[in-house]
Amino acid sequence: MAAAEKYAKVDRDVLAAMKRPGRAYLAGLAFAVLLAVMFHLLWAYQVRSGLGVVGKMHPVMWALYITNFVFWVGIAHSGTLISAVLFLFRARYRTSFNRAAEAMTVFALMVAGMFPLIHLGRSWVFYYLLPYPNQRQLWVNFRSPLVWDVFAVGTYFTVSLVFFYVGMIPDFAAAKQHVLGVRKKIYTVLSLGWQGTQKEWRHYNMLYLFLAAFATPLVASVHSVVSWDFAMSIVPGWHTTIFAPYFVAGAIFSGTAMVITLVVPMRKYLSLHEYITDDHFESIAKILLFTSLIVSYAYIVEFGLAWYGENIFERETFRYRLLGDYRYFTWTMLFCNSVVPLTLFARRLRRNTAYLFAISILVNVGMWLERFVIIVTSLSHDYDPYAWGIYKPTFVCLGVDIGSFGLFFALYLLFVKNLPVLSISEIKEHL
């Protein structure tokens, strides 16, 4: 095939996704939007009635909302890993995933960012968390991990958004010739008048390199900071130095699984088999397996040290985690996160996208449960035995939880139809 035709085919294939939506798509989008609306309605109800409508109690004062926050922030990390870190490593297979992964990052952070607001008792004064000059001459407590969250997640979101957008500038320029009407105007504006001159490309390459370089430490640091929400406390089961690497590995683990969950159907429904091959999936599956092993190691370390360390508080917390009221959650988590991914040692299974899709769902469930187990079991059985108590979620916190998934998928589905789902210019570059 001649070169021009090859490039034109790339354009066609990728932009084919943006044609009129089919019924299945609309149904899916409608369902996701419905969940997102439920999310907002329940949140409004909670703000109106007070946080009493959720299941949180004494002593489990953090439960589903923080679980979701950590879960969504974690998912975001894999996107940056694929975009930025693999870029620095010059990993070729990255090109088929990186746009979807970056989109996933941005949307996951959007959803994640709502949860610190939702879990506030007085969300109407949320701005107290931001350092702004005020007549009380009061700033924020920079020693608090929650303020670190504000800065870290805020930085991460901004940088990811910039990175996402920057990656799409040449693609907007390329795509604008193939669309009509309002879309054409929007793409033209978003492309900033990009022409593709040598000067532009020179600056662009350096920009991209630096953005990747800036984003790379964020992969390690942001989830470390989020994990320090827990590790900086004295709660048994939280206060441990392994949390930062453990959570970062877990984040990449769950994020990679989410990438698989998103890309497998996307490839199928948009017929992108040429661009996203089984080889690509095998590489991603290897990342999944690798991070699963790290997470399993972290479990072994945690339980092992609790047993070995003779700290009666730690011991009780981990005994409770494994054998107490929440044991089914813990066992499911261990099964999904540590046992199931071991099957990926088999090459055949690594290349079987249906199997990968199934595993990715299980891994997401397992990782969500991991955050839940960490938060709730540690708080439930803390230092003072009188204060021990059991948390049971209510329809409000569950509804907001499920609704957040709806919000995420709604955003993602909208992305699939409106923005180029693959990095066109990079694909052409490597053809």
Q: How far is the CB of 23 from other proteins (least distance, A)?
A: 33
**Residue found by looking up tokens 């209510």 in the block:** 394
Out of 22, 217, 304, 309, name the contact with other proteins by CB under 8 A: 217
Candidates 282-290, 322-330, 363-371, 376-384; binding stretch for other proteins (CB under 8 A): 376-384
For other proteins, the closer of residues 221 and 277 by Cβ is 221
Return the residue of 323, 390, 395, 418 that touches other proteins, per CB under 8 A.
390
Q: How far is the CB of 91 from other proteins (least distance, A)?
A: 17
212-232: buried (b, 16+ CB within 10 Å) or exposed (e) per residue?
Answer: beebbebbbbbbbbbbbbbbb
Q: Tell whether residue 392 is a contact of other proteins (CB under 8 A).
A: yes
Are 78 and 85 within 8 A, CB to CB? Answer: no
Rounded CA separation 370/99 (Å): 28
What part of residues 148-207 is at the interface with other proteins (CB under 8 A)?
148, 150-152, 154-155, 158-159, 162-163, 166, 170, 174, 177, 188-189, 191-207
Q: Kindly write down the DSSP assignment for every residue of 40-92, as one continuous string.
A: HHHHHHHHHH-GGGSS--SS----HHHHHHHHHHHHHHHHHIIIIIHHHTT-G
Residues 307-346: x where in contact with other proteins by CB under 8 A, - otherwise, as a string: ----xxx--x------------------------------
Decide whether 207 or 402 has the Cβ nearer to other proteins: 207
Considering beta carbons, is residue 2 or 354 the nearer one to other proteins? 2
Nearer of residues 357 and 388 to other proteins, judged by Cβ = 388
The residue from 91, 146, 300, 346 that contacts other proteins (CB under 8 A) is: 146
* Piece of 29-37, 71-79, 139-147, 364-372 that binds other proteins (CB under 8 A): 139-147
Residues 99-128 that bind other proteins (CB under 8 A): 116, 119-123, 125-126, 128
Grouping H, G, I as helix, E, B as strand and the rest as coil, residue 329 is helix
Name the segment binding other proteins (CB under 8 A); options: 14-22, 93-101, 231-239, 354-362: 231-239
Closest separation in Å from C-beta 308 to other proteins: 15
Q: How far apart are CA 87 and CA 75, in angstroms?
A: 19
Q: For other proteins, give the closer residue by CB, 146 or 346.
A: 146
* Distance between CA atoms of residues 295 and 367, nearest Å: 10
- DSSP label at 1? -
Report helix, strand or coil for 114. helix
**321 class by beta-carbon count within 10 Å (0-12 exposed, 13-18 middle, 19+ buried):** buried
What part of residues 234-253 is at the interface with other proteins (CB under 8 A)? 234-235
Q: What does the alpha-carbon distance between residue 112 and residue 225 come to, in Å, rounded to a whole number?
A: 14
Residue 224 per-residue DSSP state: H
Nearer to other proteins, 186 or 365 (CB): 186
Q: What is the residue whose two structure tokens read 């059991």? A: 390
| DSSP-derived secondary structure letter, 253 | H
Of positions 132, 210, 307, 345, contacts other proteins by CB under 8 A:
210
- Rg of the chain over Cα atoms, rounded to whole angstroms, equals 22
Taken in order 295, 231, 124, 103, is the CA torsion positive or negative?
Answer: negative
SS3 of residue 206 by DSSP: helix
In the complex with other proteins, which residue's Cβ is closer, 19 or 199?
199
Q: CA torsion angle for 327, 332, 333, 339 (degrees, to 10)? A: 130
By CB under 8 A, what part of segment 253-272 binds other proteins?
none
In this chain, which stretch among 25-33, 289-297, 354-362, 421-429 interacts with other proteins, using CB under 8 A? 421-429
Judged by CB under 8 A, the number of residues near other proteins is 106
Interacting positions 39-78 with other proteins (CB under 8 A):
49-52, 55-62
| C-beta neighbour count of 98 within 10 angstroms | 25
C-beta of 297: minimal distance to other proteins in Å?
25
**Segment contacting other proteins by CB under 8 A, of 226-234, 253-261, 298-306, 350-358:** 226-234
